[in-house]
Structure 1
Amino acid sequence: MKNSIYVLAFLLVCFSCQTEKKIGYVENGTVINGYQEKKDIESKYQAMESRFNKKADSIGKAFQLEVQQTQIDARRATQKKAQELMQGLQQKQQLLQQQMQLEQQQLAQAFQAEIDSLIVKVKDFVKTYGKDHNYTYILGTSDAAASVLYGIEENNLTQVILDALNADYSKE
């Protein structure tokens, strides 16, 4: 009888020491795409791209006028002078194309850098959220990389995380 009490006490201690693992998951794409800061970054870069396109159109139109004038001048000039004019025009066209490509690449790189920074920020936020709410794991899933094939809805933290992220962002 005494031994069974000790065994029962031992089992009680063992089971009370085990803590339940708290696991949640987040739909990555939904969080990122619903995050207001991402929407703001996209809007900022869409405006920048629009300004870039207007500038490129303006430069293109000015260049077309220059092409027309150079063609007129080339018809009046000697063959050698006409070749020099057209060669100069080709060099200018290449230079303008390179300049536009460089500006477009810089714009794309700046956008990608901000998005990469945003993703790191979201990951850090989820990590902090998990620690603050005693989660053992918070898994991420997406259509491209489905690490969670099934999860009950009560473990889906997507909307909770998104709401908390947007609330935190609105404070900034």
Structure 2
Amino acid sequence: MKKIIIIALVVLSVVSCQQSQKIGFVDNSVLINDYQEKKDIEAKLKTKIAAYEKKRDSLSQAFQLEIKDAELKARKMSQANLQKLQQEFQQKEQIISQQLQFEQQQIAQESQSKNDSLIKKVRAFVKDYGKTNGYSFILGSNEAGSVMYGTETSDLTQTVLDALNEAYKNKK
């Protein structure tokens, strides 16, 4: 009788210690790339890039026209004036180049900053989603193979993406 009670206690303690853990995973690239806020950010950046490219092209065309005009005038100039004109054009070209490079760096920094912020936001959302829905773990799948296999029922990518997009839409 004592043995049965001891065995029953051991079985009960083992069973009570073994809590089932709810585990799921998301495909990181799908989650980020299909997130509507990321698409909106990309659209805004594409607009800025297009404006930058238009400005770059118009500055380049205007500069080329100035060079052609100067080439015509250069035929009638003395050697000293010609060298002075060449220096002026080199300085002007350098200034334009620096200005365009600065604007390009600004766009790149803005893009990096927004992407970093977006990733932090998605991670926080997944963490809250996991807590709210009783998950012990939500793993991230990527090309490097952090999740090599998972059943379809454990794949939370679309569910989390839908919830994430819904939260973004409600925030707008």
TM-score range, shorter chain: over 0.9
> Counterpart of 2:9?
9
Residue 58 in 1 paired to residue 58 in 2? yes
User: Is 2:32 the partner of 1:32?
Assistant: yes
Q: What residue ranges of structure 2 are gaps of 5+ in the alignment?
A: none
Q: List aligned pairs for 1:64-79, cutoff 5 A.
A: 64-79=64-79
Distance apart, 1:88 and its partner CA? 0.7
- Preserved CA contact (<8 Å) 1:26 1:156: yes
Give the C-alpha shift of residue 121 in structure 1.
Answer: 0.5
CA RMSD of aligned residues (A): 1.2
Shift in Å, 1:105 = 1.1
Shift in Å, 1:109? 1.0
Output the amino acid matched with 1:16.
Answer: S
2:16 and 2:90 map into 1 onto residues whose CA distance is: 81
TM-score (norm 2): 0.95
Matched residues in 2 for 1:7 and 1:146: separation? 43
1:122-165: per-residue Cα shift (whole Å, max 9, x none)? 0111111111111111110111x211111111000100110010
Residue of structure 2 in register with 1:168 after alignment: 167
Deviation at 1:106, TM superposition (A): 0.9
CA apart distance, 1:3 = 3.3
Find the aligned partners of 1:75 and 1:117 in 2 and give their Cα distance. Answer: 57
What residue is the counterpart of 1:22 in the other structure?
22
Distance 1:138 1:10 in 2: 32
Q: Tell whether the 8 Å contact from 1:27 to 1:140 is kept in structure 2 after alignment.
A: yes
Deviation at 1:16, TM superposition (A): 2.6
Which SS does the other structure have where 1:76 is aligned? Answer: coil
Give ranges in structure 1 of 5+ residues lacking alignment: none
Q: Which moved more, 1:108-117 or 1:7-16?
A: 7-16
| Distance apart, 1:18 and its partner CA | 2.4
Q: Which runs of 4+ in 1 moved over 2 A?
A: none
* Distance in 2 (alpha carbons) for counterparts of 1:112 and 1:17: 46
Residue matched to 1:148? 147
Distance 1:146 1:14 in 2: 34
Q: Structure 2 CA distance, aligned partners of 1:136 and 1:96?
A: 56
Q: How far apart are residue 4 of structure 1 and its match?
A: 0.7
